[in-house]
Amino acid sequence: MKVLVTNDDGWDAPGIRLLESVLSEMGWVGEVWTVAPALPQSGISHQMTFERPMQLTQVADRRFHLTGTPADCARVGLTQLGVEFDWVFSGVNNGGNLGVDFYISGTVAAAREATFFGKKAVALSQHRLDYPGAFDWDARRGLLGRVIEEVCARADVGGGDLLNINLPDCPDRDYREVDIIDCVLDRSPLPYDYGDLTTPFQDQLSPDSAPVSRLQYRGRYNARDRIAGKDVATCLSGNVSVSRNEYA
């Protein structure tokens, strides 16, 4: 069985390295191939590249990076390598893709693109309590492996299905005690602000222009409402959330 791996954090991000390693150790996986963005593409959703050429570069055996988006990477991997893939895995994203994140995530978009080709696709994301602080990726190896084994063994997962999986940030818990819970997306608005709105850039404007400010988006991911039975509450309470085929 052959699997294609991609992400939106870039081809050499720690999350994709962990995913490649875990998949390569699974007995049912024959070959792991990677086509991932040459540069980070977080939050780019399902953008595709049409008006400029993309460069596909081989960096190791069965590993490539592409000067394109995550969705580009999935499409190129599925159509240009001459390999018939059984699964497509996207991630592991550095940060959760919960609730409305689903619609803006490049990680999810790469998996979604794979479903258009009739592939079984999994988007994997790691929620972070202390982002952008230090993070022990290898400590998540056991939980990641268990989740992939259990979810991919489900008999009702077929071609064209998309599973959006979020791992909780619970380093002190035994990964065997973490529940894997099927749930729906929480479409509640994400709490956010635009940082310090008091820093003008009047030097770029004419003297009679109205004052404006520099805006820096800051999502308050851990301040989200927690609605029982939905993915945000599930993951933030310390369990793995699995949402399936949610597009509308």
pLDDT in tens, 114-139: 999 999 999 999 999 988 889 999 99
Per-residue CA distances from 209 to 28, 212, 215 (Å): 64, 9, 18
Separation of alpha carbons 161 and 167, rounded Å? 19
pLDDT of residue 36: 98
User: What six digits make up the tokens of 31?
Assistant: 């070959």
The helix, strand and coil proportions of the chain, stated in percent and rounded to the nearest 5, come to 25, 25, 50
Model-level pTM?
A: 0.92
Amino acid 73: pLDDT: 98
Segments in the chain forming alpha helices (H):
14-24, 70-80, 101-104, 106-116, 141-152, 231-236
Strand 218-219 with 192-193, pairing: antiparallel
Is the CB of residue 94 less than 8 Å from the CB of residue 128? yes
d(C-alpha 92, C-alpha 158), whole Å: 21
Instruction: Compute the C-alpha angle 151/155/160, nearest 5°.
Output: 80
Between CA 109 and CA 80 the distance in angstroms is 19
The CATH architecture one would assign to domain 2-184+226-244 is 3-Layer(aba) Sandwich (3.40)
Q: Output the pLDDT for position 104.
A: 95
Q: Which residues contact 109 (CB under 8 A, 6 or more apart)?
A: 8, 44, 45, 46, 47, 69, 70, 71
Distance, in Å, from the CA atom of 158 to the CA atom of 238, rounded to the nearest integer, reads 28
Determine how many CB atoms are found less than 10 A away from the CB of residue 172: 6
Query: Which parts of the chain sit beneath pLDDT 70?
Result: 196-213, 248
Radius of gyration of the chain (CA): 19
Residues of the chain with CATH 3.40.1210.10: 2-184+226-244
Quote the pLDDT of residue 2: 98
